[in-house]
Structure 1
Amino acid sequence: MKKKILILFLMLGLFITAYSNEDIKKEFIIYDNLNISTSIGSYSSELKISFPYYTREINLNNLIKIFDHLGNEVPIQPYYRNKYVYIRKDNFKKDLKYILQVKGDILNSKRSKISYDFKTDFVFNYKELSINRIHTNIKFNNLESAHFILSFYDGRIITKDIRDYLSFSTDVNYSYTIKGQKLYVYGDFKPNTTYEVFLKKGFKTYSSIAKEDIKLKVSFKDMNSNVKFKDYKSYVSSYTEAIEIETTNIEALNVEIIKIHSENLNFINLFQNYILRNNSYYNILNYGESVDKFKKIIPFEKNKTINTQLNFNDKLKHKEDGIYVINIQNSEGSGKDSKIVFKSDLGISVKIAKDQMFFSVRSLATNKSIKDAEILVYSNSNKLILKM
């Protein structure tokens, strides 16, 4: 047994010795050409060197040197990943000639010695201009706000005189705003229309340039359907004849009338928030009940904003006095709005002094004073602070 173990150790020792003493191959592979590429970023410029093999035991600072156009060595901190070496600096100058020297010996992954003797000049040039995204927008009630946005990949826009580089195939009155790497172009653009837009050669971002004229197609869709009340003043049904609304690309409305329960009238501030925010978080049905629903056909013209008068007197005249909320919604798509309605023959005026409040209640129909009216005053936190 001991003899077998001894023989095994002897064999293993010979194997290890043979492997560790393997001479590095003597033949030299000399490379006098390497692939390099340059790029300009928002914060730094980069030189990328592509080596033919994965390397090891490499001292990049001794192997690679860069000199400026005057022959002065440029301090660098190269690093490599796989067979690529990267050199990044924030002070490489654009359009200025540099010299790259790769000279020395290294080992590749097969432990062969490779000798490099490579020298070339290079320039940090702009990349070809690339557009990331084109976004168009036409607001339903303001064609003057129609605009498109050009987003560029390669950093903020450098070109200042946009009108020297931007043109259209048809006459367009436009203005523009630059925000970082986005160009906002506002103009008299029409819905459901495609425009040819030209960016002339020389348009620049931080790290790219249009090397040739660029032609784009910018298409505007139909205006989004939408509906809104012209104002949010409280509507008094026994005094005001009609409510005016604005609609765009809507042919019919679903209308719902909600009666606020009398015990919840102190939540009027909450209802105002619901109206102004039009947010489903404020579920108005938690404070009242639906008392009527109907469909209303309205005037329609494609891609036009239409003003329409809606009269709710016939819907409210047989209902009891109180506070109502009217919800209107596009019957076949997006667009909705809400408004508070006071159904009452009473009108109230208030004057507030330093430590007094004066109330006057009148009939809206006869303009006569009402002497036996009950008045409740609530704070902003919906607490009753006065009853008289």
Structure 2
Amino acid sequence: MIWQAIDKINRLARNGAPNKALQAAYNELMEAVQKGNEKAVEVAINEQSRYVAERITRTEMARAWADGFIAKMKKDADIVAVKFKLSSRHPGFDICDMYAKADMYGLGAGIYPKDKLPPLPVHPHCLCRYVEVIEGEVDMQQQRDQVREAGDKWLNSLPESRRAQVLGRKGLKAWEAGEDWQGYMRGYAGLREAESRLQMYKPVELSEKTITDKYQSPKGTIKEFQTRKVETATYDIHVSENVNLKPKMLAEVNRQINKCIDLLDVRNKEELPKIVIASNDDLNDALGSYMACENKLYINSETLHRKAYEKYLTTLENPASKNPLMTMLHEMIHWQDARKYVAEFGEITNPREYLEYIIAKHKKNVDELVKNGYNIKKVSDYAFDMAFKFRYDEVMTEYRVMRLLR
């Protein structure tokens, strides 16, 4: 009986040891112990320690490998996407099979954009891996978000027993009734931009010289505060003395600017705006703002705490996007509109005149959308409110944010 139980423990350790089954095996050992065999206690302890150590080692090795891959991927512009590769030693059928076989973004089975990756390791004992997809190997113009549809298609290709294995009986019933599989898939944590623990952030070094800045809210309230230039920033970034700028926050603002440059196909980086990172109080609770006459973009420091900001965005009922890039992209679109005006008419010296121009320009675009039956409410609550205030520039900015971050 003792050796049978030990054999069960060994097999369970190799296969990922479900807790209930492992407990049952130990119970059998304890029965043997109660009959006077003290050796069984030692065997049980050793086997438990071996199983736990093996699980931790495998999982941490997989996580360390993923950290190295992600750190390299982020620095290599030639890597445009990532393929999720199922391990040949994968112990059983689970969510990893979906990650490897479903075409979530129209790039091919198991291929994901760099900022929409399944996490690795997916679960304890996971030995799956990422594979680089180099520019030219896939047409990134075909990228589109079809996560739910791809998951549905994959599930439909499975027999019912397999569906129940990954969704659970309750989840299978809900999915068959039309609910989204993402709320029931076992082990599913969403697809997002992966972060490497190996990532080294630039230190924050500020200039000694302070500059007085004044921010005027849409309601006319003026806040005055002191700023310093961030000497270690990639771009022209200044920070309010009311903000404790951390290296990770500086990395985040640089990441957001780089992503906006890519999305908006910015060619001339010399025209990029001066970025001012300000506190919530400095900006009178605004998340961001762009001043066309000064070519200055204000960004609320709260938007640079990515996880906290992501969580905040999930509480909004109808935003243009729940991507934490949303605010920076919104203001950068305003910047791009202004630079197009400057290229055609010269520098912006009269803010009211420029505002009237940009509102009139975008009114034509909004009218065209409405004429074609488009419901502005679908863009965002903010866009809907701005439409009633005749701020068609804001409506179209929200519309473009929604389209770009879809």
Do they superpose with TM above 0.5? no
Coarse TM-score class (shorter-chain normalised):
under 0.3
Question: Higher strand fraction: Structure 1 or Structure 2?
Answer: 1
The structure whose RCO (Cα within 8 Å, separation 6+) is larger is 1
TM-score by length of 1: 0.24
- Whose radius of gyration is greater, 1 or 2? 1
TM-score by length of 2: 0.24
Question: Higher helix fraction: Structure 1 or Structure 2?
Answer: 2
